[in-house]
Amino acid sequence: MSLAKRFLALQHGLVIVISVVVALVMIQQTRSWVTLRAESVTRAATSVMAQDPFVREGLKSDDPTARLQAYAHRIEDESDIDFVTLMTPEARASPTRSPNS
């Protein structure tokens, strides 16, 4: 094999290796960006919903599910959010229910 063919093969191999490395770096950066975007959207939506007087009153009502279900579905339909769970800071959907009942 001539020197020119060896050099060409080396260049070809180098281009392939560099392309694979660049592709892997770009994939990792894209994953990181997607995760940061999802966290940002979730944090913003959570903050807005937590401050909404309708949600606060709904969670204190006798039947929060009936009152807040349509609101949660509307948020899902109108945003990039896949699902919405509304609950009190004590992690109960209804403050009037006891965990033993």
Distance CA 57, CA 48 (A): 15
Kindly list the averaged pLDDT for each block of 10 residues, start to end, along the chain of length 101.
93 98 98 92 86 89 86 86 81 46 41
Q: Are 15 and 34 in a shared domain? A: yes
pLDDT of amino acid 20: 98
Q: 61 with 30, same domain?
A: no
Q: What is the pTM of this model?
A: 0.56
Domain span at residue 83 reads 54-93
| Whether residue 46 is found in the same domain as residue 76 | no
DSSP state of 61: S
The pLDDT value recorded for residue 17 is 98
How far lies 100's CA from each of 66, 88, 96, in Å? 22, 17, 12
